[in-house]
Amino acid sequence: MPPRLALHRITKTYPAVRANDAVDLTVEPGEIHAVLGENGAGKSTLMKIIYGVVRPDAGTVEWDGQAVQIAHPAAARALGLGMVFQHFSLFDTLTVAENIALGLSSDIPLQTLAGRIAQTAEQYGLDIQPHRHVHTLSVGERQRVEIVRALLGKPRLLILDEPTSVLTPQAVQRLFDVLRQLAAEGCSILYISHKLDEIRSLCHRCTVMRAGRVTGVCDPRQETEASLSRLMIGADLPVQQRQARQAGAVLMQVRGLDLPRAHPFATPLSQVAFDLHAGEILGVAGVSGNGQQELMGVLSGEDQRAAQASIELDGAPIGRQSAAWRRAQGLAFVPEERLGRGAVPELSLARNLLLSHQGAQTVRHGWIRAGAVQRITAGIIDRFHVKAAGPQAPAGSLSGGNLQKFIVGREVVRQPRLLIIAQPTWGVDVGAAAQIRGELLALRDAGCAILLISEELDELLELSDRLVVMAKGRLSPPIAREQASREQIGQWMSGLWPGAEDAARDATQEVVHA
């Protein structure tokens, strides 16, 4: 049989960079084929060429042995290609079912489609509510929508760009079972991930890219994570030196934080309580959609509905203070959504810097100090190895991982007193992830208090001094990192921590009495 997909000498050049340089790639029927490379290596551009989103400057594409020109995604879907993008292509104001309908035949009634979505989601263990509006979904829930949308098209080749970046370990295993089943049925899969353990356990072959070129093809099952890392970045990963240290005074205190639903599908927060000390990292684990997004909003000041006394900073109540006021007090925030919340895609990196840098160094008497903004932005690009054309490059022109590095760097260089960060290494290659984690540990060692919200259990266990788990809008008691295990945290993700049932019963009785 001919290869399902064969690329020959694919080349794509942008004004500042050659994203793909004479790339060859072959995918066989029923093969799970990984594409591995650093952020900015050209992986996502190559996938967009295959799916018809981007036109190549040179090279040929063969499908089942026949040369084809894929002019747009509709033509790709007609051939039997499906794709799950790293940056989601969903309309916030539409429902899940309406978003999925946009890519399918127009003669399917919406109610029928909603039933098919629910059936497919249940079949593959992906929790989705078809009539829920996308703007109410967390990043992890949006990723499930993208995966289900691709599966509904019954693809012959499925492209997955960082599909597990915000999925829990349990959800990842369910997805892997699905992918192995699809491959056994003859579906080919192109799998992009920075998680080397996933590639080694799932994929049959691996094409490695660096700076837009293919540097090698290997069987990942015969490689170690260290050897794959060397193939990808040309060097061994740095070893994190984590030093035990005594935490300082309580910087932020949360007590009895209740928050009603902002919309019908939101998760209400109930009796959330924790202390965050200077010089410690408090990790928050949990399945996506259990209140992490709501907690981030109320702590950052984006949502000001909390009782004033429920959140204290340095012993003073701040529950109703704005995000700008909190930033002025030395708080910094990295949201889980890069585009739209973390950065404005149409603005340059220098202009995006001003979203959080509005002190005397960058703005004086209402005037922007353009030279200072340019220098700080260039410093972030250099320090965090952001692959960009310079400070004036639009944020939307960066790859997902490079934009993440810039956003994290933008907050880190402020040297905040308290940092609230969600999914810090989402879609970031292993080298950059190691650097980001090292920067967080350095901040903590300098006395910064860090609240780390992540769905990467390994990341939480590596970085956190203490851990809490969020389930159904409630927070577990804290547990020291040394005492925590993956099994225990996984059990707590279902809300089964000691005393959880009693707390839920007490809260229900309070509501009834009220």
Give the integer Cα–Cα distance in Å for 112 and 363.
55
Structural element, H or E, at residue 455: none
Q: To the nearest whole number, what is the mean pLDDT of the chain?
A: 88
d(CA 447, CA 278): 5
- Say whether 299 sits in a helix, a strand or coil: helix
**Structure tokens that stand for 388 in this block:** 């960009």
The values of phi and psi at residue 332, to 5°, are -135, 155
Assign 66 to helix, strand or coil.
strand
Phi, psi of 145 (to 5 degrees): -60, -45
Which has the higher per-residue pLDDT, 455 or 451? 451
Instruction: State the Cα–Cα distance between residues 56 and 50, nearest whole angstrom.
Output: 9
CATH 3.40.50.300 domain range(s) in the chain: 5-233, 250-330+416-513
- Of 45, 36, 70, 52, the C-alpha closest to 191 is 36
Burial class of residue 178, CB neighbours in 10 A (0-12, 13-18, 19+):
middle
Residue 289 has a pLDDT of 81
- What digits encode the pLDDT tens for the residues 294-348? 999 999 999 999 999 999 999 999 999 999 999 999 999 999 888 878 999 999 9
- The Cα 425–Cα 56 span in angstroms is 30
AA identity, residue 471: A
pLDDT tens sequence across 42-77: 888 899 999 999 999 999 999 999 999 999 988 998
Q: Which of 165-174, 272-281, 389-398 has the lowest mean pLDDT?
A: 165-174
How is residue 169 annotated by DSSP? Answer: H
Confidence (pLDDT) at 239: 65
| For the chain, percent of residues with pLDDT exceeding 90 | 54
188, 31 contact by CB (below 8 A): yes
Q: Which residue has the tokens 């066989």?
A: 28
Q: What is the pLDDT of residues 132-169, one digit of tens each?
A: 998 888 777 888 888 888 888 889 999 998 887 666 67
CA distance 464 to 277: 12
**Residue 497: pLDDT above 50?**
yes
CA separation for the pair 461, 444 (Å, rounded): 15
User: 96 near 129, Cβ under 8 Å?
Assistant: yes
**Minimal CA–CA distance to 3: which of 88, 61, 89?**
61
Paired strand residues for 20: 12
pLDDT band at 125 (very low <50, low <70, confident <90, very high): confident
Q: Is the distance from CB of 36 to CB of 197 less than 8 angstroms?
A: no
| pLDDT at 514 > cutoff 50 | no
Least confident of 63-67, 369-373, 427-431: 427-431
321: how many CB neighbours lie within 10 A of its CB?
Answer: 19
Q: What is the pLDDT of residue 81?
A: 93
Supply the pLDDT for residue 138: 77
pLDDT digits (tens, 9 = 90+) for 102-117: 877 667 888 888 999 9
Q: Which pLDDT band, with edges at 50, 70 and 90, does 366 fall under?
A: confident
Compute the distance between CA of residue 111 and CA of residue 96 in angstroms, rounded to an integer.
12
Residue 281 token pair = 């990292």
Q: Is the pLDDT of residue 12 over 80?
A: yes
- Type of residue at 207: T
Q: pLDDT tens-digit profile of 234-258?
A: 776 666 667 778 889 999 999 999 9
CATH code given to domain 5-233: 3.40.50.300
pTM: 0.72
Q: What is the pLDDT of residue 238?
A: 64
3-state DSSP of 403-447: HHHHHHHHHHCCCCCEEEEECCCCCCCHHHHHHHHHHHHHHHHCC
- What is the separation of C-alpha 389 from the centre of its chain, rounded to a whole number of angstroms? 23
Please check the confidence at residue 171 and state whether its pLDDT lies above 80: no
The yes/no answer on whether domain 250-330+416-513 falls in CATH 3.40.50.300 is yes
Kind plus residue range of the DSSP H or E element containing 500: helix 500-513
Q: Which of 93-97, 432-436, 494-498 has the highest mean predicted lDDT (pLDDT)?
A: 93-97
Contact between 176 and 145 (Cβ < 8 Å): no
The gap from C-alpha 290 to its chain's centroid, in whole angstroms, comes to 16
Q: Are 447 and 435 in contact (CB under 8 A)?
A: no
C-alpha to C-alpha distance for 341 and 163, rounded to whole angstroms? 21
The contacts of residue 162 (CB under 8 Å, 6+ apart) are 86, 192, 193, 194, 400, 426, 427
CA–CA dist 335, 457 (Å, integer): 18
What are the pLDDT digits (tens) for 186-200? Answer: 999 999 988 888 899
- Write down the residue that tokens 């960079």 correspond to: 17
The alpha carbon dihedral of 72, 75, 77, 82 has a sign of negative
HSE of 417 in the Cβ direction (CA atoms, 13 Å)?
15
E strand spans, 247-292: 250-259, 269-277, 281-285
Integer-rounded Cα Rg, in Å, for the chain is 23
Q: Do the Cβ atoms of 501 and 318 come closer than 8 Å?
A: no
C-alpha to C-alpha distance for 206 and 191, rounded to whole angstroms: 9
Q: Is residue 473 a contact partner of residue 268, using CB atoms and an 8 Å limit?
A: yes
